[in-house]
Structure 1
């Protein structure tokens, strides 16, 4: 693959409020023959130079449409009123497939090439339960049953990343599909026998794409930037 020394950001979603118009345009977007990545942009389009010594904190994820993101963010706020903790913002709702942490910026084209070579059909998720992990004080929403295509996507991604010398986070090697709703839940308010997790209204989610995301740390919490997207087909 030909490399280049220029890029621009595809879409910074951390400060953008999702709209129904965006969802409509996403449905009408034509299929691409290659992943939408920042190095596909020519320098005259306002590209920025890559700092070869810089690193990026990145992960692969499923990214919901604005309507589902809003439903899940509302659920997070409802759980925060009951269990406290820091709720996930609408613009940061996602389901992590593989977390890589800090990688050189120069490795980002390689990550996109790896992801672009994985072929898995679209699949349906049903977000139908809540869970809580005491060791990291995390309350999450997940699936009672994981679709075979989702597991195939994660396994292929982890194997191909490992073969290329990348090391996904240890926690992601034992994959439990989940969407973080609350972080840093105070232990005195944590779910337990006295206050168990409630049942939730099942939320169907048709997954037709996945993304490479860059995380930017800020005082209020991380902001996320979608660097590239890949179609499930």
Structure 2
């Protein structure tokens, strides 16, 4: 199973981001479906069932991880994956704590992670051949997160969808 741990904005925020995206970037190709909007905490890759079972068990033991709010107010572009994304100018300490804690747990489960700095972001478009012009309306989306999820990336002839496989509460 191809998996990642992530955060999912509520439906109202997803709709607001979709509306903003349409107003600012209607002509761009490769929009990510609104149902796939998320912030990845850790990309886990292909996992075996025993790794997933160990991950569940270790995450269940977590306590006292606080919920938090993230403001998505920055637009970014990565040329290699050709991705346009929304990000946060400031990362809350609680988000860094969650990522650090989950990284430790994932390593305990003998799951290899890519070594790269964590940049919280929500991908808006894939396969953008170039960085688009600036948005006419600056983004400002406040997302409160009181849970995180294990997602499975499922490919079909209609594209990729992200299915929630487990959820855990933040205090």
Question: TM-score, length-normalised on structure 2?
Answer: 0.90
How much does 1:200 deviate? 1.9
How many pairs are equivalent? 170
Instruction: Give the aligned partner of residue 49 of structure 1.
Output: none
Instruction: Give the aligned partner of residue 62 of structure 1.
Output: 7
Unaligned runs of 5+ residues in structure 1 are 1-55
1:216 aligns with 2:160: no
Q: Measured at CA, do residues 105 and 198 of structure 1 come closer, stay the same or move farther in structure 2, by a change above 3 Å? A: farther
1:206 aligned residue (112, 137, 144): 144
Instruction: Give the aligned partner of residue 74 of structure 2.
Output: 129
Flag the structure with more relative contact order, 1 or 2, with Cα contacts below 8 A and sequence separation at least 6.
2
Render the CA deviation track for 1:25-84: whole Å, top value 9, x for unaligned.
xxxxxxxxxxxxxxxxxxxxxxxxxxxxxxx001000011111111222334345424x2
Question: Is contact 1:58-1:212 (8 Å) kept?
Answer: yes
Instruction: Give the aligned partner of residue 179 of structure 1.
Output: 122
Question: Is contact 1:118-1:157 (8 Å) kept?
Answer: no
Question: Is contact 1:76-1:88 (8 Å) kept?
Answer: no
Q: Which has the larger radius of gyration?
A: 1
How much does 1:197 deviate? 4.7
Partners of 2:43 and 2:80 in 1: how far apart?
18
> Counterparts in 2 of 1:1-233, with a 5 A limit?
56-82=1-27, 84-119=28-63, 120-170=65-115, 173-187=116-130, 190-191=131-132, 195-198=133-136, 200-233=138-171
How much does 1:198 deviate? 4.7
Question: Is contact 2:55-2:105 (8 Å) kept?
Answer: no
Unaligned runs of 5+ residues in structure 2 are none
Question: TM-score, length-normalised on structure 1?
Answer: 0.68
